[in-house]
Amino acid sequence: MKIKLITFAPHPNFGTCLQSYALNYVLRKMGHNVEFIYNDRENPPQSFIKVFMKGCIKLFLPKSFITSMKAKRQAGAINRHREPYILELPNHPFLYRLSKLPFYKTVYKLLKCRNLQWKKVYKFTYEDDNFNMRRIYTHKQYTEVTADTDLFITGSDQIWNPYCGGFNPMMFVEFGGDKKRVAYSSSISLPEIPASVKQRMKTDLEKFQHIAVRERRSVELLNKLLHRNDIKLVVDPTYLLLAKEWEEFGNKAEIEFTIPEKYIFCYFVGDKRADVYEQMVQEVKHFTGIQNVITLECYNRNLNYGNGRLYKDAGPYEWVYLLQHASYICMDSFHATVFALKFQKEFVHAMKNEDTETGSQNTRMYDILSRYGILYKNYNVGGNNGWQQPVDYARLTPLIESEIKDSIDYLKYEIEN
């Protein structure tokens, strides 16, 4: 079957990167012809002048000044934007024609690979046969893609969270005509759907034959919105690979330093609660007696924790390898939690957002921790030391394995029915 997969394209948010890989991998393993389509518009539209000014600022102003200004802007932006922004399907005929020129891929790679980390992400995405990628530039291409499709699958992660990159019509297959659409493990990750996008979301999702989501709250919201009772709860696609398959994946890592025998692995997507993360890491060092710390930062590449090593050059393979071999894991990441559970690791998690923050993504973490009876693994400043309690994997693993089997069966059902 010709399947077009739609989700966030790979980048150095490694959870996002690997959920894309996992669903693509599973579908190809089932024998389907899978093409990953994306439009590179997961950011709000920006004018040429704005892009040019940003480039000048980065070129002429000190990095410390830019970092300081960015921190002030982010601090002032909290709770300011009550409603999400709406993206548009791009239409760039000139850029499309440019992409057909012989030198385009070379220039694109040079611009994309601005450091070693991005070189690794680029290699993983475009050169290692992990994906069959097609970027969409024009409205005409959407028509061509639709004609060449048996089934659209919207994949996992927060593609339906309008505060996570905006409300993107690509993620709701608004261009898909009457072709079949299904969703696997798509996520809203909000306690409520914002009023400004509710009707448009309803109109889009009414065209989906089957919908499977990642959180119980998303099930409740969509059943109510669509007046249905068949919205399915499934696991994230990163669960669907065997631990052995992820181990083989991680063995492709090329790490530029000697890894300590024992170390605490830190992976933080956010930076608004950096002081909380630092306190958590220090407590973990004291509790475990492990002094070596390796930190991978997702977006803010300057934050280091626990007086350890800040590893800026990791790609997807290195992320999996370091997480698998860690003695203890500290994170604010949903997917780092999934992999910790997959590899049966001890960990502690801190929420990325304040619960009261507009667009807070904490719902997904409360869901997974409470669903598995491990909410005590959530770190609270000045709270008790419940996070020190080990995970009972003898109880938890059979539950997760049962959910994985059920989810794979439902994915097959979505495709075949």
* Beta pairing, strands 210-213 & 133-135: unpaired
* Distance (Å, whole) CA 206 – CA 40: 25
Where does 128-261 show beta strands of DSSP type E? 133-135, 151-154, 180-186, 210-213, 232-233
**pLDDT of 48:** 46
3-state class (DSSP) for residue 294: strand
* Pair 268, 277: CB distance under 8 Å: yes
* Distance (Å, whole) CA 265 – CA 285: 11
Which tens digits make up the pLDDT trace of 239-288? 999 999 999 999 999 999 999 999 999 999 988 899 999 999 999 999 99
pTM above 0.85, yes or no: yes
**pLDDT of 174:** 97
- How many Cα atoms occupy the beta-carbon half-sphere of 121 within 13 Å? 24
Query: Looking only at Cα atoms, what is the longest distance across the chain?
Result: 61
DSSP state of 239: G
**pLDDT of 81:** 53
**pLDDT of 45:** 46
**pLDDT of 54:** 65
Which tens digits make up the pLDDT trace of 296-306? 988 888 899 99
**pLDDT of 229:** 96
Q: Which one, of 218, 121, 170, lies nearest residue 8 by Cα? A: 170
**pLDDT of 103:** 92
Tens of pLDDT along the chain (417 residues)? Answer: 999 999 999 988 999 999 999 999 999 999 999 999 998 754 444 544 555 566 666 666 676 665 555 554 544 443 345 788 899 898 889 989 999 999 999 998 998 898 999 999 999 999 999 999 999 999 999 999 999 999 999 999 999 999 998 999 999 999 999 999 999 999 999 999 999 999 999 999 999 999 999 999 999 999 999 999 999 999 999 999 999 999 999 999 999 999 999 999 999 998 889 999 999 999 999 999 999 999 998 888 889 999 999 999 999 999 999 999 999 999 999 999 999 999 999 999 999 888 888 888 889 999 999 999 999 999 988 777 999 999 999 999 999 999 999 999 999 999 999
DSSP state of 125: I
Q: How many whole angstroms from its chain centre is CA 206? A: 25
Could you tell me which residues are beta bridge partners of residue 20? Answer: none
329 membership: H or E segment, kind and range: strand 328-331
Q: Which one, of 333, 131, 360, lies nearest residue 236 by Cα? A: 333
CA-based torsion, 121, 122, 126, 128: positive or negative? negative
**pLDDT of 58:** 64
